[in-house]
Amino acid sequence: MIQCKDFAPRITERGPFGGASDYESFSEVVSEVNQWIENTTIQVINVETVVLPDSLKSTSDGVYGVTVSNGVYPVMISQGVTVNCFQCVRVWYREEWR
């Protein structure tokens, strides 16, 4: 069965009132993807960069940020209304049988 896993920038520093103020760089996200691939028994089918809205769910540990200073993409969804999106890595894979 084919599956996918998304990796997005994690919050690295908290700002006022518990909000995020700084995030991982995209190269750090790619490094995490490489480590995950190396430490799991999967067959990688494809790796791609995707831009996702700020409400990403079901990531590996729940501490991912919603925006990153070097990867925020405001997307207009209607006149004057924008949604912040961010760059992440999606890995498509198949679990290998041992």
Determine the length of the chain. Answer: 98
pLDDT for the residue 12? 77
- Residue 73 burial (CB count, 10 A): 14
Q: What is the pLDDT along the chain (98 residues), one digit of tens a residue?
A: 999 999 988 777 777 776 656 778 889 999 999 999 999 999 999 999 988 776 544 444 444 444 344 555 667 777 878 776 778 899 999 987 65
Q: What is the DSSP letter of 63?
A: -
* Alpha carbon distance 96, 98 (integer Å): 6
pLDDT reported for residue 38? 95
pLDDT of amino acid 53: 76
Query: Which tokens go with 38?
Result: 């190396």
What is the pLDDT at residue 15? Answer: 72
